[in-house]
Amino acid sequence: MKIDIFKKKDSLKHTSDFDYKDFSYFDRLGVLTIENIALDFEKEEFQEMISKDEKLQKQASLYSLTILKPQEDIVFKKKSQLKRSVINFGVVFKVAAVISFLVLLSYFYLYRNSNALEMYSVNRNLKPRDVVELVDIKEVAIEKKAEKIDKKTTVQESKKVLEKVVVETENYSFNDSEDELLIGFNPDTLRVFDVIGQEKIQFAVVEPNFETNNLSEKKHILGFIGKKLFVLSKNINIAVQRNEDGGFASLTITTPDKTYSVKKLTP
């Protein structure tokens, strides 16, 4: 027994929640098909329509052309400007803490040393290129006399008054290039020639860092005034240039705020 059934049940159903009244039935099927949301019966009907009509077949082909393809050659060139980086405050804090600690440490170190140098304040009042002023500090600088050792004068380093060690050569003056001088723990034997250079200036000798023996480091500055040897200050910076023979070719003394040139004293 043959049972009649209605074969287009799907066509009764609502497949979309918007009204297709603006579209012809062909256009509706065409868009549904290329959007790939057409039901089976809609696909069949669409195929049936275009198979019978060449004009509709062309229209259907045009629908297929409306699917856009992205242009890969269009790129955003400022990607780097979009990216973010975040400061790691943990690391910054640690670095800042270490730097602060070092600054404080160096401050206290300098403060201690400056307290130990009574001459420092005196030196700050010196006028540049005015060696006569140096003589004025003699009374302050001289603390004790060192022993005279024939042709050699040795500065005995004292832990207590290192920065004030003054040796008085009494009857001896450094005029002979054969004279030798030992200062502190300086392993080098400094001769007068080394000390005063070609002009035999009776001024300034350095005590190198006795650990490194590096003359370019900050040292004690020993200054001759007449026959007396003063330690002027630990805080004076010096620049020493050695000549090819190993002697001192030039010497510049710089205090924290002034530069003094080596100047020959009146004998």
Partner 1 sequence: MTLKEFNKCADDYSDYVFRFVLKNISDYSLSEDIVQEAYEKMWLRHSEIDFMKAKSYLFACAYSTMIDYIRKKNKIVSQTLPLEADFVQESFPQFDGIKEALEYALKRLPYEQRSVILLRDYEGYSYQEISQITGLSLSAVKVYIFRARLAMKNILEKTGVTVNEG
| Nearest residue (CB) to partner 1, 23 versus 185 | 23
152-155 and 180-183 as β-strands: parallel, antiparallel, unpaired? Answer: parallel
| Nearest residue (CB) to partner 1, 61 versus 254 | 61
| Nearest residue (CB) to partner 1, 60 versus 183 | 60
| Nearest residue (CB) to partner 1, 30 versus 208 | 30
SS (H, E, C) the chain: CCCCCCCCHHHHCCCCCCCCCCCCHHHHHHHHHHCCCCCHHHHHHHHHHHHHCHHHHHHHHHHHHCCCCCCCCCCCCCHHHHCCCCCCHHHHHHHHHHHHHHHHHHHHHHHHHHHHCHHHHHHHCCCCCCHHHHHHCHHHHCCCCCCCECCEEEECCCCCCHHHCCEECCCCCCCCCCCEEEECCCCCCEEHHHHHHHHCCCCCEEECCCCCCCCCCCCEEEEEECCEEEECCCCCEEEEEECCCCCEEEEEEECCCCEEECCCCCC
CA 235 to chain centre: 25
Q: How far is the CB of 25 from partner 1 (least distance, A)?
A: 13
The site for partner 1 (CB under 8 A) is made up of 16-18, 20, 22-23, 27-28, 30-31, 34-35, 58-59, 61-71, 74-79, 81-86
Q: How far is the CB of 24 from partner 1 (least distance, A)?
A: 9
| Nearest residue (CB) to partner 1, 74 versus 91 | 74
Q: How far is the CB of 16 from partner 1 (least distance, A)?
A: 6
Q: How far is the CB of 248 from partner 1 (least distance, A)?
A: 59
Q: How far is the CB of 70 from partner 1 (least distance, A)?
A: 4
Measure the CA–CA gap between 265 and 117, rounded to whole angstroms.
Answer: 25
| Nearest residue (CB) to partner 1, 30 versus 184 | 30
Q: How far is the CB of 188 from partner 1 (least distance, A)?
A: 59
| Nearest residue (CB) to partner 1, 70 versus 187 | 70
Q: How far is the CB of 14 from partner 1 (least distance, A)?
A: 12
